Structure 1
Amino acid sequence: FPHGYYCQNTRLYLGMPPSGEIRLPEQGFQAPTDRSLDKVQEMIILGLTNDAMMVLQTVLRDNVLDPGQYLALSQQLQSAGDTYRSLRLIKRRFANIIRGGHDGVPSLFWDLAYPKTYMPVIRDAIAENQTDPIDPYVIAALIREESSFDTNARSKTGALGLMQLIPQTADQIARSRAVKSFDPGMLLDPHLNIQFGVSYFRSLLTQFDGNLVSSIAGYNAGPVAVARWRLEMAESPWDKGGNVSDEEKFVESIPYKETRNYVKRVLQTYREYHRVNGTDCRVSFLDKHC
């Protein structure tokens, strides 16, 4: 897949630009007239997204929607503030295009596939510490992979909110930020969740001397495990030749399959955010201070 993790690495080593497609002018998607969708669209406009999705499931059982209809619904959902369902719809219908690209895809499609819904909140949270800047697209990538922008996300392990924070970790952050009467339910507030998530991720970057790969791995598996893996890698007889960086070797050496795949997904998403927005990504060769 042209937009996949390994293709991205190969392009970087060969000095090739990010894979791109013909980007049509940004414009709104107009869904073809279809009475079966009228009720869904009206509910979305009224903010009744739960009911709208239930009706949409019925519509999808009885009809085959064309791409324009899917895109129009996704755009309406995002405009109504339901980025989670908007992204879910895009992933469900256009998974192959997201991974492989396609000529003629409008730029607005990529904005729906890689949302920037909470970018102002992310930038404000990062700005709290001017001495240790963080690329906001790293945080957006974490949110996309952690919760798909679901503010009410709850994991089996008890992680909550956009950045899937564990209550025990959040309690420590609350103490460091002098937040009084902290309650885990507060993590469902997107502003507080992002503030705490950025604070925690910054602490990981500090612990791992700015190493983005280790910090992403630590966000998933915890810093203790990552420090142990780093030590094991340093003591292992890795082949120092070839064109594979130490960071790529580390990613492949992560013993937890879940964490190994998680790191690849976040890095891939991070790079895609930069490609979609036409900016330079600091993860060129997964170097130490990327």
Structure 2
Amino acid sequence: PKADIPFTKAAAHVSRLFQTAGNDQLLLRQGRAKEARARFEEAAAEQVNYYALRAADMIGSGERSEVAAFDEAAEREEAEAWLAAWLDLPDASLRSSAQAIEKDPRFQRGRELLSLGLRDEATAEIEALRKDVADDPLALYQLALSLRDLGLYRPSIACAVRLIHLSPAGSVREAPRFLQRLAYPLYFADLVVAEARAHGLDPLLLFALVRQESLFDGWATSRADARGLTQIIPSTGEWIARRLSWRGYRAHHLYRPYLNARFGAWYLARQLEDFGGDLFAALAAYNGGPGNAARWLARARGDDDLFVEVISLPETQLYVKKVYEHYALYHALYGR
């Protein structure tokens, strides 16, 4: 999916600072700590992309925690008041628009096809509807909710992200909390939290990985045949099954969320263990392979930021940055 956090001029500036010979880390190495700190703080103030988030970590403002409770009803009421004010609508319009979306023939066909187990056909109907309302904020909001209720999480998230980008907020971090949570949800929480804790992971890290891998679509399949919530390739799944003494493994079992969440959590934990707790190397290994990650790590010589920049596979480099961004957003929303 496309990036959910816009790259602003400030973010581009920070990116250049990290990627040129005059970067802020070089200032630190030259003993110019005061100047380096000022530039890190400038980047962190934006909090818009990977580079700004790295700057925040470097000045000690990055946080790591577990899932905190929240009042969804109150946040939804606040978000709907915000939407009504932005769109200059009475509250009744929000309720009537929900009925209109669910009366749309494409939505009704999609719901019926889904109930019959015809998921691909249902998705085609829903995607046609979603594209048709792509510039209608109110319809996007109601469609996001209706799709969430159907368990069609990928298009629900897409609707929420599109709505936020159309809105005065402009970015996920500036939107009402309820909308942020629609874009960065905790679906499959019973599985994700349990498996994360069982394998010594921060649950919010595993949520960030699942969001990047599949957008919480348990039936997701990549061009490389990676499958399910955490996008496990069948051969890797077979290897994991042997390590876990999981009997009767078959490739199609990767579409079972409970199995996929366990395998993905175990595999991520294994990479973290193998790379001494280095999150960047573990994520690179998860996506690009442990052998590649080891070579990049050797080139970086212990420098996390240099490690990310020397990743030679563009897909893996973007993957590491995006999971890091998602992880930070999950902490901002749910951490305590």
Q: Give TM class, smaller chain.
A: 0.7 to 0.9
The alignment partner of 2:247 has SS state of coil
Structural mapping, 1:104-253, within 5 Å = 105-129=175-199, 133-234=200-301, 246-253=303-310
User: Separation in 2 of the partners of 1:33 and 1:67?
Assistant: 14
Judge conservation of contact 1:165–1:197 (CA < 8 Å) in 2.
yes
Judge conservation of contact 2:229–2:260 (CA < 8 Å) in 1.
yes
User: Separation in 2 of the partners of 1:159 and 1:194?
Assistant: 14
Quote the offset at 1:72 in angstroms. Answer: 1.9
Listed as ranges, the gaps of 5+ residues in structure 2 are: 1-7, 9-46, 64-72, 81-92
Which residue of 129, 148, 153 corresponds with 1:83? 153
Q: Quick one: which amino acid aligns to residue 108 of structure 1?
A: F
Judge conservation of contact 2:144–2:159 (CA < 8 Å) in 1.
yes
Which residue of the partner structure matches residue 239 of structure 1? Answer: none
User: Separation in 2 of the partners of 1:206 and 1:143?
Assistant: 20
Which residue of the partner structure matches residue 238 of structure 1? Answer: none
RMSD: 3.1
CA offset digits 1:163-221 (Å, max 9, x no partner): 11011111011112222221100000111101000011111011001111110010111
User: Separation in 2 of the partners of 1:259 and 1:252?
Assistant: 11
Which residue of 33, 39, 48 corresponds with 2:103? 39
Judge conservation of contact 1:3–1:99 (CA < 8 Å) in 2.
no
Listed as ranges, the gaps of 5+ residues in structure 1 are: 19-23, 235-244, 280-290
User: Separation in 1 of the partners of 2:185 and 2:130?
Assistant: 26
**Number of equivalences:** 260
Structure 1 residues 36 and 10: CA distance shift in structure 2, 3 A: same
User: Separation in 2 of the partners of 1:157 and 1:56?
Assistant: 23
Percent identical pairs in the alignment equals 28
TM-score, normalized by length of structure 1?
0.78
Judge conservation of contact 1:3–1:272 (CA < 8 Å) in 2.
no
Which residue of the partner structure matches residue 273 of structure 1? Answer: 330
Higher RCO by CA contacts (8 Å cutoff, separation 6 or greater): 1
Structural mapping, 1:32-71, within 5 Å = 33-34=96-97, 37-40=101-104, 51=122, 54=125, 57=128, 61=132, 66-71=136-141
Quote the offset at 1:10 in angstroms. Answer: 2.9
Which residue of the partner structure matches residue 75 of structure 2? Answer: 26
User: Separation in 2 of the partners of 1:111 and 1:99?
Assistant: 15
Judge conservation of contact 1:5–1:268 (CA < 8 Å) in 2.
yes
